[in-house]
Chains A and B, each alone.
Chain A
Amino acid sequence: MAAENQDSGNTPSAAGAGGVGSLLRETRRQLGHDLDTVATTLRIRQPYLLAIEDGRFQDLPGATYAVGFVRGYAEFLGLDSKEILRRFKQENGEYAARAELVFPSAVSEGSIPTGALLGIAVIAAAAAYGAWYWYQSRDASVAEAVPALPDRLAALIHRPVGNSAEVVPVLPAEGSKPAETAATGPAEPQAAVIEAAHAPTGTGHDEVVPPTEDEAQANNAAGQQAVAGAATPSPAPAAAPSAPEAGAPAVAPPPLGAVAPAAPATEDVRSSVGKVGKAGKLKEAKDAKSAAPKADTVPAPGGEASPPPANATATAPAAGAAEPDTNEIQTAAAATPARGSPRIVLNAAENCWVEIRDANGHVVSTRMLHKGDSYAVPNRPGLSLTAGNAGALSVMVDGKVAPSLGAMGVVRRNIPLDSERLTTPVKEDPAPVKDESPAAGGSSAVAPAPTE
């Protein structure tokens, strides 16, 4: 309807423009006004007046202005402006509707709205907490009573003891076998490597230094073994002779740097043999132990010195063999067995509640021992027992029945689970320790066999 009559003056029937536009035009013509005069009088630009007459209201600057222009035009022509406006608005209902106001706003800097970000963060935190909580609660069901693996045992697990036992049969191991056989002497040569490893210890005590204390000898033997193990790489036979001698001369030959720490240790032992103190022994034992891993962990220099891998493997068992010794020494010194079967076993003659705590007061185990049940106390120092019915328990220490803890139905608390205290309820003095140690040595010497 807009394009119908572009030329201003001479379109008499502008029907397409609807009522208002054509009415205004007709009136203007009747009054004889020119569009120009109207424009100059009303100060409304001619194109706008034309647009009004043609009904092209969308060409006007805005609804408010259009209404104002129409009103002004109608009043100029002497028409009823209110009626004209009413009709005008009727015709242009949607056009006269108020315009949308959109304020210019700065471009947001972040791509993610902060509110959403916050929400996501909260949800993520909640999910993380939930997962953690679930994980924790699931783990909590696992018994906490299982004691942590002591360092000594953990070390054993990681030691190549088992390895050596397996590896040795596979590999030729010419180097170790002579050593073994030489060391064991009377022992049968077909014995397993572990046995061989322990055999030297035993023989060490028995043959070489009977007068000195066992621990020192064990130490010695350990040192020798370490030396022997480390030495094997270069001259395998050289180690072999050293073993039978099992004394000072064995230590002399060490040719490698790796053996060096071990050698002084053993020398120390020998020097202090005459006046052996317990602490000294322990220290020696530790030295020997530290030497052993060295010999074990530094096979590379040894390997360099004498390349053949057979030799290197030979070292391993030797070193491995050395370790149990050191362990034994240590255990002997601490008067507790290193590993294997429990030394203390509780047998219940009647139903009895027992609780075992460690040195720190943490509960190791708490349970009801029913008639006939037996409970093997873990081999750990510092454990104490609380028994609900002392008379119902019979304590076995190293297979021997220990004195009864008390009468039937008596509650006893904090009974130290210490093998010697259990066996001798009297206060102990340093002497029993010495007596104990061979037994300990013996037991531990026996112990490894079933373990492996």
Chain B
Amino acid sequence: MFSRVTGWMSADMAIDLGTANTLVYVKGRGIVLNEPSVVAIAEEKGKKKVLAVGDEAKMMLGRTPGYIQAIRPLRDGVIADFEVAEEMIKHFIRKVHNRRSFASPLVIVCVPSGSTAVERRAIQESAESAGARRVFLIEEPMAAAIGAGLPVTEPTGSMVVDIGGGTTEVAVLSLGGIVYSRSVRVGGDKMDEAIIAYIRRNHNLLVGEGSAERIKKEIGSACPPEDGEGRTMEIKGRDLMNGVPKELIISERQIAESLAEPVGAIIEAVKVALEHTAPELAADIVDKGIVLTGGGALLSNLDFVLRHATGLPVSIADDPLSCVALGTGRALEEMPKLKNVLTSMY
């Protein structure tokens, strides 16, 4: 009863706790925070202290001296470092929460549909210890579908493919529930790794994660261009042969080649999901097609590849990066109505 009263004063929030980025949606205000899920920790006299979180910490990634650690507490969509994740959530909540109100907020956090109970519990507990009054969990594909504006509550099948930083979620939804979902631990991170591995293997050049991500965003493509090399880009790194920094030009075709494996894994996941879809729902999906959300949807030609592989129309949602956060936020705004998509571990 008392918590309900204080709930009016606190800013309830929905958090898309992603591997790459964390987005925070505050009730009535929309998405107020979008920062990389990176925490920089300094060790002073054996005591760990948070030095920076978010954008600032991401700048430190791969450039830290010995006493500073830039950590990405989430891997493959789930918490890898519990304490750091807790610190990060605490920081984000403090950053967006109205300082004047002393009440702790209600928080909805999305979790990958393929996460285990232990992983979900870890997320819920870290959110609770970060100062949340009450924590609800929502499955990522459901949040993505709601955020993309799909008619998830209608008796018609919708397929959503959410390609995040750590995981790719493929789900078929109907009547407000997930009919089938498949989660593969392939996402933006795996693409970056694939690019790094490709460049090292083919050009003996070691590039960092940040550079790989930049390459992916600029000239990344799911399929090689029809003719020629496509766009090109200068990349810098360390030469593995003689150990000196080096710069070279890489083309779109090469990157597409490097991304073939993770893209193939995504296509495979979608195909498997379609195989497991009930015929009636499959008929609906043939009609309407697949909706892509998440940062991976921005990879150029991914829709073309998927369309080609599945023979279905593929649409990219508006603002795919914030679909999950928007969907989680909508679940928060319409909490009484969307109560049954929310879960709690206890």
Contact = CB atoms under 8 A, between A and B. Distances in A.
Contacts of B337: 101-103
A399 interface: no
Nearest to B317: A64
B340 interface: yes
B289 A65 contact: yes
A275 interface: no
Interface string A35-47: 0000000111100
A237 to B, nearest CB: 90
B28 interface: no
Contact of B315 (A68, A101, A102): A68
Contact of B153 (A67, A85, A101): A101
B303 interface: yes
A42 B311 CA distance: 9
A186 interface: no
Interface string A85-115: 1000000000000110111100000000000
B305 interface: no
A72 interface: yes
B258 to A, nearest CB: 24
B199 to A, nearest CB: 29
A69 B303 CA distance: 12
Contacts of B146: 101
Contacts of B307: 42-43
A71 interface: yes
Contacts of B7: none
A45 B312 CA distance: 10
A329 to B, nearest CB: 73
Nearest to B150: A64
B315 A61 contact: no
Interface string A69-82: 10110000000000
Given A45-B287, A64-B291, A101 B313 contact: no
A67 B292 CA distance: 12
Nearest to B331: A101
B285 to A, nearest CB: 10
A105 B289 CA distance: 27
Nearest to A68: B315
A147 interface: no
Interface residues of A, number: 21
B338 interface: yes
Given A43-B311, A102-B153, A61 B316 contact: no
Contacts of A65: 288-289, 291, 313, 315
A13 B222 CA distance: 38
Contact of B148 (A42, A43, A64, A85): A64
Nearest to A85: B318
Interface residues of B, number: 30
Given A44-B313, A67-B318, A98 B340 contact: no
A433 interface: no
A62 interface: yes
Contacts, number: 74
B339 to A, nearest CB: 8
B288 A61 contact: yes
Nearest to B148: A64
A63 interface: yes
A69 B290 CA distance: 11
B152 A71 contact: no
B149 A68 contact: no
B314 to A, nearest CB: 7
B96 to A, nearest CB: 23
A42 B153 contact: no
Interface in B132-155: 146, 148-153
Contact of A104 (B176, B312, B318): B176
A99 B313 contact: no
A101 B287 contact: no
Contacts of B317: 64, 67-68
Interface in B298-330: 303, 307, 311-318, 330
Nearest to A70: B315
Nearest to A42: B313
B334 interface: yes
B313 A98 contact: no
B278 interface: no
Given A43-B307, A103-B176, A103-B340, A62 B316 contact: no
A98 B319 CA distance: 14
B303 A72 contact: yes
Contacts of B311: 43
A72 to B, nearest CB: 7
Nearest to B288: A61
Contacts of B288: 61-62, 65
B338 A101 contact: yes
A92 to B, nearest CB: 13
A46 to B, nearest CB: 12
Given A42-B313, A67-B318, A62 B149 contact: yes
B220 to A, nearest CB: 17
Nearest to A63: B149
Contacts of B283: none
A42 B307 CA distance: 7
B175 interface: yes
Interface string B5-28: 000000000000000000000000
Contacts of A63: 149
Contact of B316 (A42, A44, A68, A101): A68
A72 B176 contact: no
Contact of A72 (B151, B313, B338): B313
A102 B330 CA distance: 13
Interface of B: 146, 148-153, 156, 175-176, 287-289, 291, 303, 307, 311-318, 330, 334, 337-338, 340-341
10 contacts: A43-B314, A61-B288, A62-B150, A64-B148, A64-B315, A64-B317, A67-B315, A67-B318, A69-B315, A72-B303
Interface of A: 42-45, 61-65, 67-69, 71-72, 85, 98-99, 101-104
Given A44-B313, A101-B338, A103-B153, 8 more contacts: A44-B289, A62-B150, A64-B149, A65-B288, A65-B289, A67-B317, A68-B316, A101-B176
